Chain A
Amino acid sequence: DSGVTQTPKHLITATGQRVTLRCSPRSGDLSVYWYQQSLDQGLQFLIQYYNGEERAKGNILERFSAQQFPDLHSELNLSSLELGDSALYFCASSRLLQETQYFGPGTRLLVL
């Protein structure tokens, strides 16, 4: 158990809908990262927050957004969902920048 928690574990929704994925980092970790894992794209970095501020952005679609709250938990919002958004979404955390990242168990999203 990495100490990173993600909810929900599974999510089934329809195209055009909006969902929110939640991540609680390990105790004391200030940085949160979001990754998407799909069969064709592999593990892709989406976005990083550090102590509430956006720090780095990857190939994140405009339909996706994230934030990190004062208690350091983070949420990834996915809107206008498409079939191709079906994937595993992982959150990782690290104590500071440029430190070892610990991954959560992921949220499996299925868009029908």
Chain B
Amino acid sequence: QQQVKQSPQSLIVQKGGISIINCAYENTAFDYFPWYQQFPGKGPALLIAIRPDVSEKKEGRFTISFNKSAKQFSLHIMDSQPGDSATYFCAARHYNQGGKLIFGQGTELSVKP
């Protein structure tokens, strides 16, 4: 119930291509879904986030698509660049458990030049 399942575990994309990472959840009490980007040796950094009353949110080359009925959401990285190579984590937050984030297992993205 408190899990967030993320796939794929790793992803290789050519420069200029579209990277797609998927997440699924069970708990309908989650009310906030952020994506974090983490480079080796660094802490996770917030990339983009969405609430379940919105089906899509776009910020630059990054788009979250949200399907409330299917309890799934995904991150799309358009025109992927080698500098996007990092580990990406989806997460979910329960509406009244103080703000703790439940993270997916992470996706290691490699963008080949």
Contact = CB atoms under 8 A, between A and B. Distances in A.
Instruction: Report the interface size class on chain A.
Output: 20 to 34
B99 A98 contact: yes
A94 B93 CA distance: 13
Contacts of B43: 2, 4, 90, 92, 103-106
Contacts of A97: 98-99
Nearest to A88: B43
A71 B100 CA distance: 22
Interface string A22-57: 000000000101010000001111001010000110
Interface residues of B, number: 23
Interface string B72-105: 0000000000000000010001010111111111
Given A42-B105, A42-B106, A105 B42 contact: yes
B89 A45 contact: no
Classify the interface of chain A: helix, strand, loop or mixed.
strand
A62 interface: no
Interface string A87-108: 0001010100111111111100
Nearest to B96: A98
B98 A101 contact: no
A8 interface: no
A16 interface: no
B101 A56 contact: no
Contacts of B106: 42-43
B7 to A, nearest CB: 13
Top 3 A-B residue pairs of the complex, sorted by shortest distance between their CB atoms: A56-B98, A103-B43, A43-B103
